[in-house]
Structure 1
Amino acid sequence: MTKLTINSVKNSKIDHVNFNELPFGKVFTDHMFSCDYVNGEWVNPTISEYGPISLDPSARVFHYGQAVFEGMKAYKDENDDIFLFRPEDNFDRINKSAHRLAIPEFPKEFFFEGLEQLLLLEKEWIKTGKGNSLYIRPFVIATQPAISASPAEEYKFMIICSPAKSYYAGEVRVIFAEEYSRSANGGVGYAKAAGNYGAQFYPTSLAHKEGYQQIIWTDANTHEYLEEAGTMNIFFRVNDTLITAPTSDRILDGITRKSVLQLAKDNNIATEVRPVSVAEIKEAANNGSLKEIFGSGTAAVINPILGFKHGDFKFELPALTDNNYSSFFKKALNDIQYNLAEDKHQWRHKVTK
């Protein structure tokens, strides 16, 4: 690999940050990693001061949307050691996303050396204690200046970091989609493409006006099957069985989702990975067998859903104090992430000098 250049800042801005009141994704650390794709190869891996970048107005990312990203977190245990959670999966997925958008795949050595050196520089930004983490955003954009509708020949890969607490605050209720769609067969729904998220903002804003925080998207063909939410995979607990939709070219292969399914298997919790219909969830709500709905994702980890709406049908989930699956999985995941429990699947990755 080309030697990594590190230009560290002289004065950190960390003392001006209130870590007790962190708006998600709006405060950034001192440094960022960047690397350029030119002449058919990735070059110039550099860590430098976080700040604006310069792009030509005709950079293809602005016109044709060649942009993919990942979401990761770093955690710190009580010994001041830093850990990542399943970072190999994030690396594999960003390259899978890149491939779908005709973006050159990123070398593994660049990804991990750049990421780990960046985290070591930003070590003080990662606070101990459950709920505290450093959110990590790797992304790739097309930078070549040309407004011709074809894949770019130049790209920039970057990693930026933001100290974080919980992603969602307060109660979360959802609408089951009836009109708008997140993705369709043959599309880019399985990729973390920037456009997937931008296209959700308008229908989600309509949900907000009705007092709902998220949409659970349904299949584009019939709107009869529940698939995923804007930033989360979705689980339904019917009686004591955990049900979630299978991944496909419409649904993101969530890393937290895979972890929940494995933890369920480890703890003898029945699971079903299959199409989940709107009708069956409404029926389960009516007959009392629907016990929980929760979302899973890197930012949210596990986020309970308190109620849902579909057409004129509204339902509030029962308040479970005992045998609560969402609380169980969140604690189990956090205990692994913060180095508080055995990691028998080797998900935890220690960042070392």
Structure 2
Amino acid sequence: MTRARKELVSVETTPYYHCICRCVRRAFLCGEDSYSGTNYEHRRGWVLERLRDLQGVFAVDVCAYAVMSNHYHLVVRLDSDRAAAWSEGEVMERWERLFSLPVLVARYRAGQAKTVAERERAQAQIAEWRDRLQDLSWFMRSLNEHLARRANAEDGCKGRFWEGRYKSQALLDDAAVLTCMSYVDLNPVRAGMADTPETSDFTSIQQRIRALAREDQEHEGSACEGDEPRLTVLGREGDDPHANAVAFTTEDYLELVDWTGRAIREDKRGAIPESIPPILERLRIDPAHFLGHVGRGQRSHHVAALGHVERFHEVVKQLGRRSIKGVGMSARIFLAPADCR
């Protein structure tokens, strides 16, 4: 049975989510449609452009992305602390970038709301907008509706562009974030569309590699070109799982993706390349099952969450659920403390 999105997305559980969205029509999101012969490569830029625009509105960070021919992947972080720090004026200004303000709220902003009841209604509306501007469903809605309208206008047609609602997975800890980011960034290599991560166009790994190569950038968090989205900074100090960055560095991540990419190209199923990146041991990730999931594309879109099993136990208790789909796959990929001795 399909669950309500609010039952699957909880910032109190984790701020990190993997989102997947697919086109419903024969015409592709981007790339060349072999049926019609039309090339939609330019639409890839639409996705990145819209992501960049929405980052100026929502309290949502982009950790990883990959824009494929008929679908895209995102790994995002919901920043509730940032949204809570916005003033009422900033909330209204951000909301107005996407939607027109109701007359009542416009009057409130101009200091023309004369009664207590009017002011309270305006304040309640602003509070609701604050919640929406840190909400995954509203973020994805604002991304997908814009892309659908633009594609429909270009195709000269109406109707659904996306295949139902987007799919999302909760990433319960840093190991899950690392694994999912790697899975997303290696999509073009796994699909045979690129030979290496650095030649994987319209992926966050290519953006990170290029940013690292630019000596004039102060830090990777601001390293972006043109309409590329800003990528979240990798690496943090402390043990807070809800801090603004994850517990692995850019160097850790690039080493792991390069190692996995070479394993994909060599295509020796069941073989583990030498010189296993230390980050796998630090985050208690099984190398063989990591390669099976990330490098060889074992499908995981049907699971609701990824993370160490002990995190599943915590989340099940927190949400009052009997179980969450994904614990079996996670038990194979992520090692228990006893298995790491």
Q: Which TM-score band (shorter chain)?
A: under 0.3
Would you tell me which structure has more helix in proportion to its own residues?
2
Q: TM-score, normalised by structure 2?
A: 0.28
The structure richer in strand per residue is 1
